[in-house]
Amino acid sequence: MKNIVKTIIIGLGVFISINTEMMATEIEKADTVNGAQVWADTCMRCHNMRQPSDLSSRAWSFSMNHMRVRAGLTGKETRDILAFILSSKTESDRD
């Protein structure tokens, strides 16, 4: 009987730690290095580069959803590019 309880407790512990690990991966910070790479590879295919200062942060998030569809980007690529663009904004240009 003691052994069963022990097994359940250990099993629960493993389950919880795997779960938190998965959650940590999901809310992982956007990868700006990958964003810069995908941005450089993709965004000039159809038009000139838009500078980070060309749009407000809010307009960028709208535009990236627009360009996600046009360029056929994955959700992760879209988030990474947006993070890269917003991190490239200068202090005075932040909004």
Which stretches of the chain bind ligand HEC, using CB under 6 A? 39, 42-43, 45-47, 50, 55, 63, 66-67, 70-71, 81
The Cα 37–Cα 77 span in angstroms is 10
- Specify the residue, 45 or 58, whose C-beta has the smaller distance to ligand HEC: 45
Min dist. Cβ of residue 57 to ligand HEC (A): 12
Nearest CA among 68, 95, 73, 85 for reference residue 32: 85
**Nearest distance in Å: CB 76, ligand HEC:** 13
Give the separation between CA 23 and CA 92, rounded to whole angstroms.
35
Cβ at position 83, least distance to ligand HEC in Å: 12
Contact indicator for 74, 30 with CB cutoff of 8 Å:
no
| Residue closer to ligand HEC, measured from CB, 71 or 86 | 71
Question: Which of 10, 69 has the CB closer to ligand HEC?
Answer: 69
